[in-house]
Amino acid sequence: MNASNETLVRNPLKDRMAADDVALGMVVRLGRSAEIARIARATGHDFIFVDGQHALYSPETIGHIAQAAIGCGVAPIVRARHLADADVPRFLDNGVMGIVYPDVNNAEEARRAVEACKFPPVGRRSVSGAYSIFDFKPMPVAESSRILNDTTLVICMIETAEGLENVEAIAAVEGVDVVHIGCNDLLTNLGRPGAFGDPIIMDAIDRMIRACKAHGKWAGLGGDRDLGRQAELIGRGIRFITTQTDIGFLMAEAGRRVSELRKVAEANR
């Protein structure tokens, strides 16, 4: 075993969670260049969550952002468009370190997600070579496959009543690393759109956390941006959390700054 290959690839997101610490990620929907990864790193994030489901990204753009993220110590993960997103293998072959699958409703769908992301014997991912994540250095297939299986994360989102009903079975699937509740879609599906903090969603999150603990998986949370609830849910066991979108950060600070200057301008009229 070449020890240098073991340390060549580290997933800072997985390392953070493996230490029972909380991994913080920025959802990227606006940034289209490598700088967004460096901004995420400078602001203390462990990962970027490139939103390939709701934002317009080409595979080439995602690949460039992923390379920059790896270079500055931030884990690049991508939300796929859907369970059968044909771009997933290319993302993983070109530097992406994890795939977020939206709307996973049962154990069979979770197994399909694992099959796309993990090499045999865990999944059915196709073998390539000269991976950019290894700086294109050649290495035995058995070694590269094992390392990539270990560092590539599969994140299954619970966004429907059906998914919530099957959350224990989803968490039990071998190869799933994170089970992640998407509060916006789940609340909408449950007939309570926008009701963050409602007992129905808090109970759902608690159920998901229990399922993750029972099966040795990490629990994730997205969509609810209230700092107080985020802190409370971290205390309950959330270990994978998205802080805010790049759009949200930009809007919040731009709005705050303009509001303050408007007050000054009014006072000096």
Q: How far apart are CA 37 and CA 77, in angstroms?
A: 11
Given a contact cutoff of 8 angstroms between Cβ atoms, the answer to whether 155 and 220 are in contact is: yes
Given a contact cutoff of 8 angstroms between Cβ atoms, the answer to whether 25 and 69 are in contact is: no
128 CB-contact burial (10 Å; exposed 0-12 / middle 13-18 / buried 19+): middle
Collapse the DSSP code of 15 into the 3-class scheme (helix H, G, I; strand E, B; otherwise coil) and give the result.
Answer: helix
Residue 109 CB neighbour total at 10 angstroms: 18
Percent of the chain that is helix, strand, coil (3-state, to 5): 50, 15, 35
E strands present in 47-168: 47-51, 75-79, 98-101, 153-158
DSSP 125: P
Structure tokens at 262: 């408007």
Closest CA to 224 of 249, 202, 191, 252: 202
Q: Which of 54, 82, 180, 215 is catalytic?
A: 54
Q: Residue 54 catalytic?
A: yes
Can you say how many angstroms the Cα of residue 119 is from the centroid of all Cα atoms in its chain? Answer: 20
Query: Any idea of the CA torsion for 121, 126, 130, 131, to the nearest 10 degrees?
Result: -80
Catalytic residues: 54
